[in-house]
Copies of this chain bind each other. A is one copy, B any other.
Amino acid sequence: MSNARLSPSSGQVGRLSEAVSRRGAALSTSPCEACAVRHLTVCAALAEEELRHLSDIVSHVELAPSQCLFQESDEARSVYSVTAGTMKVYKLLPDGRCQVTGFLFPGDFLGLAHDETYAYSAEAVTHSALCSYPKSKLESLLKRFPQMEERLLGMAKHELMVAQEQMLLLGRKTAKERLASFLLMLSRAAARRGQNGNPVLVPMSRSDIGDYLGLTTETVSRSFTQLKRDRIISAESGNRIRLLDDEALQDLAEGA
């Protein structure tokens, strides 16, 4: 009844620009080969030939902050790979209560639906770019290249592990412990992408963080203040957070 969900700018459910930039696979090197996030994503498993097949079916999507990529129960026509920006995926209860089930960064995969429809909504947190693959065409590629499927299974397993960690967080951790876990997650995700993990950038709002951690914005804010008072973190300019005591933060996050 209170949590921010559809931001005021919503309603504009759609694409900012859906530039089909790839058509004509006669190039000797496919554009996917040059992809900056290739090593992070499914595409890492692929040989040059397979990449060319992917290039043939990919199109590109850009989203402005708070723009919606798809909504729960939309027909699942495409799967996506984030190449730039930050996305959030979330589920809603009829009365508006919102649970963000994950934040996605470059290299992350999105839209792997089990059924014919998506089981969650996806929205841009910051200005974002994605590769879009028609589900049907990707599925035929998967049949031809089993190691792509293997890679996908590996990613699904990893996501499951992360989801179980998050259940532990939501079911059993205190507000302070949740925020500590969240900051470490952000820091590690940045490091994995080759960015600096220590002054960690927090691109999402307090409300988004609350909806991710099962808390209210006020409690998130208070927990930030507590961590600052405990000299475990400090804020350098708004959403740049310096982790002052990594060990203390980890102990907190693990509930020790």
A interface residues (Cβ-Cβ under 8 A, vs B): 91, 93-95, 97-99, 101, 112-115, 119-120, 142-143, 146, 149-150, 152-154, 156-161, 163-168, 170-173, 211, 213-214, 254-256
Contact = CB atoms under 8 A, between A and B. Distances in A.
Contacts of A167: 91, 99, 101, 163, 166-167, 170
B256 A171 contact: no
18 contacts: A91-B167, A93-B173, A93-B254, A94-B255, A99-B172, A101-B167, A119-B161, A142-B150, A143-B146, A146-B149, A149-B153, A160-B160, A160-B163, A163-B164, A163-B167, A170-B170, A170-B171, A171-B214
Contacts of A95: 255-256
Contacts of A171: 99, 170, 211, 213-214
A97 B172 contact: yes
B101 A157 contact: no
A254 B167 CA distance: 19
Nearest to A142: B150
Nearest to A3: B172
Given A99-B172, A168-B101, A114 B154 contact: yes
A157 B112 contact: yes
A254 to B, nearest CB: 6
B160 A112 contact: yes
Nearest to A150: B149
Identify the interface centre among A157, A161, A171: most chain B CB within 10 Å of its CB.
A171
A164 B119 contact: yes
